[in-house]
């Protein structure tokens, strides 16, 4: 039997965690789709986002078998430069895959270890995960600018490949770094596997009096819940608005609570807390609309999950999900056009149950076609295959 290439993957959070969202889900989907082509050996924290204790059902500081991957849950005392270098050296691998640009633990330390010669030099692929979008860079902008400048001076990010999840992210990366064409690999993030059986019949969840709107994401400035609340303040229709997701930024949540108290009586708001991934589809199926005016998404797994059960989305234009209205999937609207968001909600509130149900069927069928293309799978396969075929990347600055 021919052995599969081993991909040593570093990511801040992984299964059974779920609170961190995007990158975690992206890696899990890669394992699910590409597990026949590559072995994924994943190094991650021993606890979920915001938790103070480790996972109960894993072995800490040892390799675990987790849904088709090997996973090493690293305890805080092992999260040193030497600790990271020891894991890299003790784990045979053909390629290293990093899932953040700014992560001080799971990106910076492996790159420092390489720069100092503590670990062997193998091809490295770095996925910034939307960190170079304009919206993301505006948050803590001075700190990020200083870091990017220092990274250029020190050459930490030289001689590696970059994984961009869209043509828009390619532009974002090139805005910060002058890169050669052959080191930027573009592949849209892989979705959770979908099928025709995933369509959720919502006829038992009818509310003829109110439009049911959901916000499902981490509660942080990047996800822009406050903007959603400002939209609803100007909506005249009766709305049931439920907020799901962990509170990542307590100060930001306090701001959102103040906005909630200012909403008119026709808007009924509830915060329902974090959601386990197994329950996401069931939750989306209970609503008429997913409102998500995010400041920027590298992919937006929650968008795909909403569409997969037939729930239309009302999102910002800061994601790879473009021209949604043309395909009958929802709306992607610039954040400087709040009135357009309001108008969509008002129009949605006037739709009959039959109109909503037919729309749900159309959305589910359309998204199946969009998320199961062979080209999408092959593009992701090439993110690893191309660097492996060209291990002798010229030792010259490409940053």
The tens-digit pLDDT sequence of the chain (399 residues) is 578 999 999 999 999 998 887 889 899 999 999 999 999 999 999 999 989 999 999 999 999 999 999 999 999 999 999 999 999 999 999 999 999 999 999 999 999 999 999 999 999 999 999 899 888 898 899 999 999 999 999 999 999 999 999 888 999 999 999 898 899 999 999 888 765 555 555 545 566 789 999 999 999 999 999 999 999 999 999 999 999 999 999 999 999 999 999 999 999 999 999 998 889 999 999 999 999 999 988 888 899 999 999 999 999 999 989 999 999 999 999 999 999 999 999 999 999 999 999 999 999 888 887 777 889 999 999 999 999 998 744 444 454
Residues 286 and 142 in one domain: no
Residues 137 and 180 in one domain: yes
DSSP structural state of residue 296: -
Nearest Cα to Cα of residue 106 among 148, 161, 160, 43? 43
Question: What pLDDT was estimated at residue 201?
Answer: 54
Residues 319 and 330 in one domain: yes
Residues 183 and 252 in one domain: no
Chain position carrying tokens 């770094």: 177
Residue 352 lies in a domain: yes
The pTM of this model reads 0.78
Residues 17 and 140 in one domain: yes
Residues 379 and 343 in one domain: no
Write the pLDDT tens digit of every residue in 302-327. 999 999 999 999 999 999 899 999 99
Residue 44 lies in a domain: yes
Residues 247 and 179 in one domain: no
Residue 396 lies in a domain: no
Distance CA 286, CA 205 (A): 6
Residues 230 and 168 in one domain: no
Tokens encoding 40? 């994924």
Residues 289 and 317 in one domain: yes
Tokens encoding 252? 């930001």
Q: What is the CATH number of the domain that holds 344?
A: 3.40.50.2000
- The SS3 assignment for 251 reads helix
Residues 92 and 79 in one domain: yes
Write the pLDDT tens digit of every residue in 64-82. 999 999 999 999 999 999 9
Distance CA 112, CA 85 (A): 9
Question: Residue 376: which H helix or E strand, with range?
Answer: helix 374-389
Residue 313 lies in a domain: yes
The structural domain count of the chain equals 2
Residue 1 lies in a domain: no
Question: What pLDDT was estimated at residue 187?
Answer: 94
Residue 395 lies in a domain: no
Question: What pLDDT was estimated at residue 135?
Answer: 84
Distance CA 287, CA 215 (A): 10
Domain span including residue 290:
196-371
Give the DSSP per-residue string, 95-133.
EEEE--SS-TTTTHHHHHHHHTTSS----EEE--TTTTS
Tokens encoding 57? 């059902």
Question: What pLDDT was estimated at residue 277?
Answer: 85
Residues 354 and 268 in one domain: yes
E strand spans, 321-379: 330-333
Question: What pLDDT was estimated at residue 174?
Answer: 93
Residue 351 lies in a domain: yes
Residue 38 lies in a domain: yes
Residues 274 and 149 in one domain: no
Tokens encoding 178? 């002058």
* Contact (CB, 8 A) for 140 and 171: no
């Amino acid at each position: 039997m021919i052995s599969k290439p081993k991909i040593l993957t570093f990511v801040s959070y992984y299964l059974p965690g779920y609170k961190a969202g995007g990158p975690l889900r992206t890696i899990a989907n890669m394992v699910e789709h590409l597990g026949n082509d590559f072995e994924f050996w994943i190094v991650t924290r021993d606890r979920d986002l915001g938790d103070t204790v480790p996972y109960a059902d894993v072995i800490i500081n040892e390799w675990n078998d987790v849904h088709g991957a090997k996973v090493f849950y690293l305890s805080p005392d092992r999260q040193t430069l030497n600790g990271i270098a020891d894991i890299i050296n003790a784990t045979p691998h053909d390629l290293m895959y990093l899932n953040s640009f700014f992560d001080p633990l799971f990106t910076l330390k492996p790159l420092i270890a390489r720069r100092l010669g503590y670990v062997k030099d193998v091809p490295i692929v770095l996925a910034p995960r939307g960190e170079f979008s304009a919206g993301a860079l505006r948050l803590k902008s001075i700190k990020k600018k200083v870091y990017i400048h220092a990274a250029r001076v020190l050459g930490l990010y030289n001689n590696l490949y970059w994984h961009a999840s869209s043509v828009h992210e390619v532009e974002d990366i090139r805005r910060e770094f002058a890169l050669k064409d052959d080191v930027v690999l573009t592949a849209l993030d892989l979705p959770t596997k979908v099928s025709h059986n995933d369509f959720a019949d919502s006829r038992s969840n009818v509310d003829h009096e109110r439009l049911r709107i959901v916000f499902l994401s981490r509660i942080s400035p990047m996800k822009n819940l406050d903007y959603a609340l400002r939209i609803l303040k100007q909506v005249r229709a009766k709305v049931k608005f439920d907020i799901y997701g962990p509170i990542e930024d307590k100060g930001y949540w306090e701001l959102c609570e103040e906005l909630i108290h200012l909403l008119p009586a026709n808007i009924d708001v509830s915060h329902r807390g974090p959601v386990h991934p197994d329950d996401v589809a069931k939750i989306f199926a209970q609503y008429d609309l997913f409102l998500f005016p995010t400041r920027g998404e590298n992919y937006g797994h929650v968008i795909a999950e909403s569409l997969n059960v037939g729930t239309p989305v009302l999102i910002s234009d800061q994601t790879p999900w473009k021209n949604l209205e043309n395909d009958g999937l929802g709306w992607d609207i610039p954040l400087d056009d709040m009135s357009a968001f309001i108008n969509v909600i008002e129009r949605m509130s006037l739709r009959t149950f039959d109109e909503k149900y037919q729309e749900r069927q159309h959305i589910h069928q359309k998204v199946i076609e969009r998320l199961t293309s062979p080209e999408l799978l092959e593009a992701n396969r090439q993110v690893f295959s191309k660097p492996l075929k060209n291990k002798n990347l010229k030792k010259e600055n490409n940053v």
